[in-house]
Amino acid sequence: MSSSSLPLDGQAAIVTGSSRNVGRAIALALAADGAAIVVNAMNDDEGATAVVAEIEAAGGKAIKHMADVTDEAAVDGLAQAAIDAFGGLQILVNNAAIRRQQSIESMSLADWRAVTAVILDAAFLCA
């Protein structure tokens, strides 16, 4: 991963919701292409730590930054973490999401708002 001939060498990326599943895979793929990664999760500290360790074990650069991407101040801190650690931010992957195990017809308004806050509001705040 450390070769300067990699396509994303010198670029920093935030991948929201990257402690597991699709976000983890995206973070690992970007790191394999040379990007320095800010691994973000809201609650899964153990998973985020593991992804950072996996990237570093492969020769890449990564930090963990726990943040709720529906909180504007937390998002500002997330961006600042990338700038402080890697000197800038060139790539953003809005991957964070939550889901409720129910049909939309049976979903409460509070659940709907929670889902859309993480998927839509967070993308707006991170932009």
| pLDDT tens digits, one per residue of 26-61 | 999 999 999 999 999 999 999 999 999 999 999 999
Per-residue pLDDT of 66-101, as tens digits, reads 999 999 999 999 999 999 999 999 999 999 999 888
User: Tell me, what's the pLDDT at 72?
Assistant: 98
Q: Are 22 and 46 in contact (CB under 8 A)?
A: no
Q: How confident is the model at residue 13 (pLDDT cuts 50, 70, 90)?
A: very high
Structure-block tokens of residue 96: 């964070």
Q: How confident is the model at residue 4 (pLDDT cuts 50, 70, 90)?
A: low
Map out the domains of the chain with their CATH numbers: 12-126 (3.40.50.720)
Residue 1 has pLDDT above 60, yes or no: no
User: Tell me, what's the pLDDT at 126?
Assistant: 97
Q: Are 88 and 35 in contact (CB under 8 A)?
A: no
Instruction: Burial-class residue 67 by CB neighbours within 10 Å (0-12, 13-18, 19+).
Output: buried
**In 3-123, beta strands by DSSP E:** 12-15, 36-41, 62-66, 91-93
User: Tell me, what's the pLDDT at 98?
Assistant: 92
Q: Are 65 and 40 in contact (CB under 8 A)?
A: yes
Structure-block tokens of residue 32: 């394999």
Who's near 39: CB < 8 A, 6+ residues apart? 15, 18, 19, 27, 48, 51, 52, 55, 62, 63, 64, 65
Residue 113 has pLDDT above 70, yes or no: yes
